[in-house]
Amino acid sequence: MRTRVDDGATVEDSVIMGSDTYEWDNHTDPVNGKRSAAVPPLGIGANTHIRRSIVDKNPRIGKNVLVTRGEELLELQDAINQPST
């Protein structure tokens, strides 16, 4: 994996495609020189938990985020695929 993963972040049973570029620590906008609070820095933020997921290239996942494949989605899919009686 070639992307930034901040302190406290965990990645379990997942595929992370990595990043094509690198951002400097100041994460400034090249146009105005200011850091945008609306756009997280390149990589995976602090205290983020990623479980059983595929993360594409150049991710911008903020702090304290949960990315997981919810088991309830499997239950919903089973209910949809069952033939009606």
Distance CA(10)–CA(38), nearest Å, equals 23
Structure letter (DSSP) for residue 32: T
Segments of the chain scoring below 70 in pLDDT: 1, 24-36, 70-77, 84-85
> Residues 40, 62: contact at Cβ < 8 Å?
yes
pLDDT at position 45 is 94
For residue 74, report the phi and psi dihedrals to the nearest 5 degrees. -65, -40
For residue 80, report the phi and psi dihedrals to the nearest 5 degrees. -70, -40
pLDDT at position 41 is 86
pTM of the predicted protein model: 0.67
Residue ranges per structural domain of the chain: 10-81
pLDDT at position 47 is 96
